[in-house]
Amino acid sequence: MAFYRAGTGGRKQADFDIIWFRFRVSKLYILVYVFSNIILLIMLGLESSSISVSSRANGIGAEISGVDLSNSLDDKTFASISAAFDTYRLLIFRGQDLTAAEQVAFSERFGRLEDFPDPKDQADGFKTVLRVTNIDRTTGGIKPVDDPGHKSFTLGTSSWHIDSSFRKLPSRASMLYGIEIPEEGGDTMFADTTIAYDALSEDRRQELHKLTVIHDFEETRRRHKLPPRPPEVQAATPPARHPLVTQRENGRRALFIGSHAAGIDGMSYEDARRLIDGLAAEASKPECTYRHKWSPGDLVMFDNICVMHQAMPYDLAGSRRLLHRTTVAGNQPLAPVD
């Protein structure tokens, strides 16, 4: 491959050739990685035949069957699940029957879990299990719709977001487990920003690679006209800066956006808002999304770097909804594109 061609633009042509070469190498790396992971899944499937991994025909993710997550998983079974998660980024396990302790044990196989400091939000005394619910833990009744904490959480989760994107070390993965489910509504939507990135033109990708996004928990509160958190709480989680496009360990690239994205370095708030909202719209197209209609016993595990999610409406005053969430803590900053 020539990196300089006389009469065709000199240095500009050389730069173009280098970019084109890197792009082809990157594509080849991704193809090799995905193919090797599929082969690994097949091999693991032969050794652990009780587990079935079925990619969804439309949208994103895969369903896992033939495994009871309440049991301690042997290494081969866990390797099958881990490889599937790396490949599909969203996994659906149906028909589970988990205590909070059993959900914690499964989640901890993927790494250290985040704590949820408010005792009233914790499940069964576990600091690492968050009650995602409209049910008061003390009374067992449905919370008032205008309860400040409940209102802010409901509004915040109704927008496309990535859990804890405002942390300097963003969370790696989240697990949601369904316990009490409304008869109507209360679904959860998921959107894979890896697929959205892949659909962009190469010129658009190059533009986005240069950008750094400011993620701030207060942005979500401002957009929903909620009062700011106390200064000491804000000080504990100050805004964090992350690359708009991050490159994962497997070579795949994803858009790191969501409702906590408050601005872009070197750009006006209005221009940044238009760009971020436009990318969110691209990522929420049908080919990038999955809508999960909950049943008791469902566990959905999703990559918290490249999968946004949002809670869909339901009758907050007349229906009970209880999910348990565990979140695998981040262990390194997001990697920008080389």
What percent of the chain lies above the pLDDT cut of 90?
73
From CA 25, how far away is CA 37, in angstroms rounded? 18
Task: Find out whether 334 and 261 touch, Cβ atoms under 8 Å.
Answer: no
Q: Identify the architecture of domain 97-328 in CATH.
A: 4-Layer Sandwich (3.60)
Q: Mean pLDDT throughout 143-172? A: 90
Any residues with CB less than 8 A from the CB of 118 and at least 6 apart, and which? none
Average pLDDT, the chain: 88
Reported residue count of the chain is 338
Predicted pLDDT of residue 148: 82
Predicted pLDDT of residue 338: 79
Q: What is the pTM of this model?
A: 0.84
Q: What is the dihedral of CA 303, 161, 146, 322, to 10 degrees?
A: -20
DSSP assignment string, 120-154: GGEETTEEEEEEEESB-TTT-SBPPTT-HHHHHHH
From CA 169, how far away is CA 185, in angstroms rounded? 33
The per-residue pLDDT for range 243-270, each reduced to its tens digit, is 999 999 889 999 999 999 999 999 999 9
Task: Find out whether 296 and 180 touch, Cβ atoms under 8 Å.
Answer: yes
Residue 286 has pLDDT above 90, yes or no: yes
Predicted pLDDT of residue 3: 36
Domain-wise residue ranges, the chain: 97-328
Alpha helices in the chain (DSSP H): 11-47, 75-88, 100-108, 148-157, 193-198, 202-209, 217-223, 231-236, 269-283
303 alpha carbon, distance to own chain's centre = 4
